Amino acid sequence: MNTHLTSSFDIPPASLQAIPYLVLVALVPMYEMFFVPFARRITGKDSGITPLQRIGIGLFSVTFSMVAAALVEKKRRDVAVEANKLLSIFWISPQFLIFGISEMFTAVGLIEFFYKQSIGGMQSFLTAMTYCSYSFGFYLSSLLVSLLNKVTSAGSDSGWLEDNNLNEDKLDLFYWVLAGLSLLNFLNYLFWSKWYSNNSVVAYNTASKQAGTESI
């Protein structure tokens, strides 16, 4: 992609990873100042929405980040192959912006959930496990690339990501796979979060009845 900002300055592609965190820095205060009071008036909850709902919004929105990545990559390859031109690197900013919004809901929601729902002394451990899951996810992504290359190369000469040439590879299809996996991950989360909510209510009612029986 075209990384020129001016005639004498190029944007380092790796620096675009800072966009999600800049979004976090900008949006978290706005979330607390504007969204939480607005949601509080509707739901009656002090936090506006529950931590589980916050995580769910984040997991759902990350799907659109992958969709944006797929659409931009398809356009970038078409422009490069058909017109022999480079698309501006700013075209991939939307996917990072959406990812930053997703992180605002998911990561902060997880920490809030652990500190509100876990037993004493487990909050720091569970927060550390969250970041360990990130590193495990990076490892699985490497396995996913290898597996997808093996599957897609079964009926052709090369897989989607085997040529090490973005104009020859099918990176946009890989992003569509990630979008599908993100959606499946969201549906899986809905199942377990509903199970947790139902069981937490049952546990609370059972504990209340036991406490009432003991008092009698």
CATH code for the domain of 118: 1.20.1250.20
Provide the domain count of the chain.
1
pLDDT at 212 over 60: no
Let me know how long the chain is. Answer: 216
pLDDT band with cut points at 50, 70 and 90 for residue 73: very high
Look at residue 202 in the predicted model and tell me its pLDDT: 45
Measured between alpha carbons, how far is 69 from 174 in angstroms, rounded to an integer?
Answer: 10
Within the chain, residue ranges assigned H as helices are: 18-30, 36-43, 51-82, 93-117, 123-152, 171-215
- Per the confidence metrics, is the pTM higher than 0.85? no
pLDDT greater than 60 at residue 204: no
Check: CB of residue 115 under 8 Å from CB of residue 89.
no
Q: When comparing pLDDT for 156 and 116, which is higher?
A: 116
25-43 pLDDT, tens digit each: 888 888 888 888 888 888 8
pLDDT over 70 at 17, yes or no: yes
The pLDDT value recorded for residue 13 is: 78
Question: Are the CB atoms for 102 and 118 separated by under 8 Å?
Answer: no
Eight-class DSSP state of 5? E
Q: What is the mean pLDDT of the segment spanning 174-180? A: 94
- Structural domain span for residue 139: 4-215
